[in-house]
Amino acid sequence: MRALLLEAAERLFARNGYADTTTDDIAAEAGVTRSVMYRHFPTKSDLFREAVLNPFIAFLREYRSVWESQLDHRWHEDKVMRTMVALLYDSMRSHRDAVVGLVSAQAVMQPDVAREVDRLFDEFFADMLVIGEDTSGPLGWIPIDEDLELSIRLVLGMVAAAAVLDPIFLPKGRRRPSRDQIIDRLSALAMYGLRLRAP
């Protein structure tokens, strides 16, 4: 039931925006009564918070698990970066409505919801920074004394944009790259810049 409600909320927040989506709309889209919805999510802001943050939380949980599994026998830098990019890309693709809903809601969010979303994203990026500090130092990606957090935010933003805004930025039809081509190129860009290979 929660999954149905979250999927319905993702679609409606993306299509109508936060302000123009009602709890009645969400319940109807999910095919449940309002009372059922309120048992799972007491307010629209609770539903919004979980629906739009779900892809980021799912990605972080999965990436942390994969990252921890290789700590005893470290992977090559290409595999570490490609795994991170692939997990985020796939999460953003499967939850693109949530990401679009989050972006469209920025201007009309209630202040308490906006603060909570900001707090949760700060926690998300703080967790990514811990992983980044552990990874980038030994692999030599980014000197620790540089602004690693900004680099992490920009890399994740680039991947999210490629996953969600692909109709605008990626070629269409026969020229459209495959998922693996996109992930390979994003990984190389993140590690090496426009040269696409180590100096």
Task: Report pLDDT digits (tens) over 146-190.
Answer: 678 888 889 889 999 999 999 899 999 999 999 999 999 999 998
- The whole-number pLDDT of residue 103 equals 79
Place of tokens 């809601």: 105
Per-chain mean pLDDT for the chain: 84
Are 51 and 9 in contact by the 8 Å Cβ rule? The answer is: yes
> CB within 8 A of 49, min separation 6: which ones?
113, 116, 117, 120
- The whole-number pLDDT of residue 145 equals 55
- The whole-number pLDDT of residue 138 equals 59
| Mean pLDDT computed over 66-92 | 86
Q: Output 143 or 4, whichever has higher pLDDT.
A: 4
Full set of structural domains in the chain with CATH: 51-195 (1.10.357.10)
Q: Which amino acid is at 142?
A: I
Are 177 and 170 in contact by the 8 Å Cβ rule? The answer is: yes
Check the CA dihedral 97-100-104-110 and report its sign: positive
State percent of the chain over pLDDT 90.
Answer: 27
- Asked whether residue 143 carries a pLDDT value surpassing 80, the answer given is no
DSSP string, 94-162: HTHHHHHHHHHHTTT--HHHHHHHHHHHHHHHHHHHHHHHHHHHHHTSS-TTS-HHHHHHHHHHHHHHH
- The whole-number pLDDT of residue 81 equals 86
| Mean pLDDT computed over 19-34 | 91
- Distance between CA atoms of 154 and 92, rounded to whole angstroms? 15
- Burial tier of 75 (Cβ tally within 10 Å: 0-12, 13-18, 19+): middle
- The whole-number pLDDT of residue 177 equals 94
pLDDT band at 53 (very low <50, low <70, confident <90, very high): confident
pTM: 0.77
Are 77 and 92 in contact by the 8 Å Cβ rule? The answer is: no
pLDDT band at 142 (very low <50, low <70, confident <90, very high): low
Length of the chain: 199
